[in-house]
Structure 1
């Protein structure tokens, strides 16, 4: 890592040793995987999105990397161990033995009441973790993404935000219309303890086909799945910057999508990201990607004379 470069950051009032951690859904379903993240060079870790009860998820094959490193397609269907599993992990989480990494807990109830019940359980346990509510899973058959139902999302936040006793975040689907950025940001700005938004989740309902076999590459939903990796970078950057510009002062954006190297991470911060999550690259390369990408980002910053992330965060230029 380049000398005199500081990659530390703060999210929801909590310090991260560096800005990188896993995207929820990758290397975070089991305690074994979460412990791998603790031992890695990530700056934090987030759990798999938890439902009230355990889920096996969709049938396989449900994930595949796409050719030429362009990204991935998945239709996982929220496989997870159920919220009580992650609640117990949080109860036993030892910050002294975790390299100072904050623990984020992702919750994805299949109803608002599920989220109420899970949030209440975490509140009762009074744990020093940060809750993130997932409004954006595109791969549960029969369940639309709440992030695209603005009235429903505001109603959910009206119920959930007062229950959450600490600053919290939400994970969002990608938006593609300027009016939708405006509408969503106006909703989020109404809730004082909504500290950050994570964007983006995978771009929903792509279709990948193998020319040789003339077959789709994932089984669920007739082959339709969420797109991730390098191909979604520009959509992710647009969402990061759109919310960075529109959210009230003090609210933050976590960038995720298309990070394969330090270069893409630099662009996420330049667009306004306070931290950066890594999904497809982590899935394909393993936790060593945190070491490599941190080094690459440090070298880019040093070459430009930047010593901290604040030196260039949100300072992307227009012609």
Structure 2
């Protein structure tokens, strides 16, 4: 029985290798991968003057762009009657993603490229949401003089050009505009875009570092961030709660009530104090330190006393 199974597997492998060899031979007869898929390859290369080949094999071609703004690499692979295209994106703005397409091998290559371009555009717009971002009328969250101020006409010009570009093609003015917009929308989105700005224009790094320091201080002291931090503390404490003589089920119920709608300004001093003592007793030093920062903001009159706990924790 096992002999039959092994022979069947060997036969399948040999058949696959034969068919694969025939497929490669067919590609060679058509001039190789570079000739057979010349149109789509040239269109990908034409997207950016820095695009280049990374690997050329009998049945596959890898090409794309790798630079300060991240990488976008395409691998074109000849399959049985199909062209499979795999894309790898590594970007400080859009993150790390794997993309793929499959086309009949003789499909019009211009239409293949247009499909890829359309999908990438939709993907980037969805991920970054630049389209809605640049058209929203948001209140500024950055220092008034942090970034360059543009006239309405200049803004419209930037809006018209920015969506059709890759991040590494942004001008300094376009970075100035979109970074300020990103910080109004979401801190981490703005922070990622700021890193790309610094990589693209290193001469601006010193100024941008100072702006980043102010924005970080502003964000990490905001109610939005502290509420999310408090939610994390409560969730972990409830999940790993260990009752004792000092911390009873009543304290656990209090935690559950606090977690229902996290608002750091709504908790009593006694609730903060009991939670802090519990975290210290359980050696949850990282959470205890975070809670001290929140506690100090809500009850500044306790700041000096709480600082002693903070100093003790940082000394451990």
Q: TM-score range by the shorter chain?
A: under 0.3
Higher relative contact order (CA 8 A, sep 6+): 1
Q: Which has the larger radius of gyration?
A: 2
Q: Which has the higher strand share?
A: 1
Q: So what's the TM-score if we normalise by structure 1? A: 0.25
TM-score, normalising length from structure 2?
0.25
* Higher percent of residues as helix: 2
